[in-house]
Amino acid sequence: MKLSISTSTKTTGGGRFLTELGLCGDDGNPSSVNTLECKAVLDEADKHFESWTYWDGYFIDDAGNPNQNQVQSFIRPYPQSTNGRFLKQHFNHKTGEYSFSFITNQTRNQYSEKQNLIAEIYIPLSVHYPNGYSINLNPNNLTTEMKGNTLSIYLPTDLRNEHVLVEMKMVRK
CATH number, residue 89: 2.60.40.1180
Same domain, 36 and 85: no
> Cis omega before residue 139 (within 30°)?
yes
CA distances from 7 to 2, 4, 37, 87 (A): 9, 5, 26, 18
pLDDT for residue 156: 84
Alpha helices, H only, the chain: 2-12, 33-47, 68-74, 125-128
Q: What is the span of the domain harbouring residue 159?
A: 76-172
Report pLDDT digits (tens) over 84-124. 999 999 999 889 999 999 999 876 655 555 678 899 999 99
Same domain, 59 and 111: no
Report pLDDT digits (tens) over 36-56. 777 788 888 878 777 777 776
3 found inside a domain? no
* Average confidence (pLDDT) over 59-85: 86
Same domain, 89 and 122: yes
6 found inside a domain? no
65 found inside a domain? yes
Same domain, 51 and 87: no
The pairing of strands 133-138 and 165-172 is antiparallel
pTM over 0.75: yes
Give the C-alpha separation, 18 to 168, whole Å: 25
pLDDT for residue 160: 61
pLDDT for residue 65: 84
* % of the chain exceeding 90 in pLDDT: 42
Q: In total, how many domains does the chain have?
A: 2
Give the C-alpha separation, 165 to 138, whole Å: 8
Is residue 125 helix, strand or coil? helix
pLDDT at 2 over 60: no
Same domain, 144 and 84: yes
